Amino acid sequence: MAKPSKFAHIVYRTRRFEEMIRWYEAVFEARLQYQNPALAFLTYDDEHHRFAFGNLEVLDPAGKPSGGKADAGVDHVAYTYASLRDLADTYTRLKKLGIKPYWPIRHGPTVSLYYRDPDGNRIEFQVDSFATADEANAYMRGDAFSSNPIGVNFDPDELVEQIKKGVPEQELLARPEGPPAPIPREHGLGA
């Protein structure tokens, strides 16, 4: 079975957006890769992000304590696979076990499949879309990412077929043009 090549990042939801960013900058001597009012990405090494923060005041303004679902805590953890083939093989293996992703998305820096464990904890299985850290960093600081920092959804069964047909991974890793995908309800934000 294909195994993850590394643990990549953790994303937190917070109602102390700026304070959390400053804390992780100080504690990990992390640098800010990208920030908008809803999202911030930080890293401390050559990974494109090691932490991200989702601002609940923007993403889920009606949330706790006034009655919504989302509250501060872990949004998801992410594991990287070495290749798109490894990710697709994992998708196929899990599908046979009746485990399906709730959100297949080409984020831009990564191609990702989000799963939920039995407790509802979210896990992202991803493949880096860029061969080098410099390319990924440049992408995250560029216009394509700021115009759509979420990504564009895809069909994983179609991806499996494209890989079988021999479509080059390079082609399949690239994010197509498109507006930001809506965050699915299974991701646990919003009322």
Query: Under the rule (CB under 5 A), what is the footprint of Fe ion?
Result: 78, 124
127: helix, strand or coil: strand
The dihedral formed by the CA atoms of 181, 186, 190 and 191, expressed in degrees to the nearest 10: 140
Residue 86 or 124 having the CB closest to Fe ion: 124
Q: Which is nearer to Fe ion, 11 or 162 (CB)?
A: 11
Give min distance, CB of 99 to Fe ion, in A.
Answer: 19
Nearest residue (CB) to Fe ion, 40 versus 78: 78
What gap in Å lies between CA 123 and CA 146, rounded to an integer? 24
Least Å from the CB of residue 11 to Fe ion: 5
Strand order in the sheet with 31-35: 31-35, 39-43, 51-55, 6-14, 73-81, 122-128, 110-116, 103-106, 152-153
**C-alpha–C-alpha distance, residues 141 and 159, integer Å:** 27
Looking at the Cβ atoms of 78 and 163, the one nearer to Fe ion is 78
Q: Rounded to the nearest whole angstrom, what is the least distance from the CB of residue 153 to Fe ion in the complex? A: 15
| Residues 148 and 180: beta-carbon distance below 8 Å | yes
Q: Give me the least distance between CB of 63 and Fe ion, in Å please.
A: 20
Q: Which residue is nearest to Fe ion (CB)?
A: 78
State which residue, 124 or 128, has the beta carbon closest to Fe ion: 124
CB of 76 to Fe ion, least distance (A): 6
| Tokens linked to 106 | 């080409």
